[in-house]
Structure 1
Amino acid sequence: MAESALAAAFLAHPAADYLAVALMAGATYLCRASGILFMSRMRITPRIDRALRALPGSIVVATILPIAAQSGLPAVLGLAAAIATMALVRIELAGVAAGLAAVSLARLAGL
């Protein structure tokens, strides 16, 4: 019982917030550093290079697809515009901007 009271007192302390942020920053740094360390020791074959180049587009599609499936026609049009733009210019930010513009125009048109 005394341990749970001690834990509750610690978590209520203002410094607990700073400790949580510091621990999350440390975990983020370790994740990124381990990725760099791992990739520095790995031989990049043409197959791995193609997979790494396709990864950003895959992440964008995987993020947007469930939302589009639930959100209707404007979201599907936005997804199509984003995919087409990314396929043409190969710039992820341009794809995101085109998708947002397509959704905005579709909603403005009343779809």
Structure 2
Amino acid sequence: MSEFLRSDVMIAFAVMTAVTVASRLGGFWLMGYVNVTPRVRRMLDALPGSIIVAAALPVAVNGGPIVIFALVAAMTVSIIRRNDFLAVATGMLVAALARALGIAG
């Protein structure tokens, strides 16, 4: 039997999927009880950027100059183009090119 098809691994995947779906559905359900004032709307609008910063900051601190350069490139594209997908793709491309060119980081 393949190591990835072991029953304990499949059960772990199923439980993680169920918890993810439950937390997302629970969030939608709870937001039904929240009055969306202009202040709450501003907070919700800022949330995706806050999550990206929270995920990227430890990587930037520990990743060295290539990672910092890639993050700066992604932020620049995000500010200029206002397109998160394009910004992430740019950051990945810059990091991949720098590593492919052998730039030490």
Do Structure 1 and Structure 2 share a fold, with TM-score over 0.5? yes
Q: Secondary structure at the match of 1:67?
A: helix
User: How far has the Cα of 1:26 moved from its partner?
Assistant: 2.4
Structure 1 spans left out of the alignment, 5+ residues: 1-13
Q: Is the 8 A contact 1:78 1:98 kept in 2?
A: yes
Alignment-mate amino acid for residue 45 of structure 2:
R
- Give yes or no for the alignment of 1:24 onto 2:16: yes
- C-alpha deviations, 1:27-73, integer Å up to 9, x for none? 22221111001112211111221221222222222212211222211
Structure 2 partner of 1:48: 40
Structure 2 spans left out of the alignment, 5+ residues: 1-5
- Give yes or no for the alignment of 1:84 onto 2:79: no
- 1:63 is aligned, of 55, 58, 62, to 55
TM-score if structure 2 supplies the norm length? Answer: 0.75
Q: Which has the higher contact order (CA 8 A, sep 6+)?
A: 2
Greater mean alpha carbon deviation, residues 18-27 or residues 84-93? 18-27
User: How far has the Cα of 1:15 moved from its partner?
Assistant: 4.8
Superposed, 1:8-19 pairs within 5 Å as 15-19=7-11
User: How far has the Cα of 1:85 moved from its partner?
Assistant: 1.6
Structure 1 partner of 2:27: 35
Question: Identity of paired residues, percent?
Answer: 36
TM-score if structure 1 supplies the norm length? Answer: 0.71
Closer/same/farther in 2, CA of residues 59 and 16 from structure 1, 3 Å limit: same
Higher Cα Rg: structure 1 or 2?
1
Task: Output the CA distance in 1 between the equivalents of 2:62 and 2:17.
Answer: 34
Structure 2 partner of 1:74: 66
RMSD after superposition: 2.2
Task: Output the CA distance in 2 between the equivalents of 1:21 and 1:99.
Answer: 30
Structure 2 partner of 1:7: none
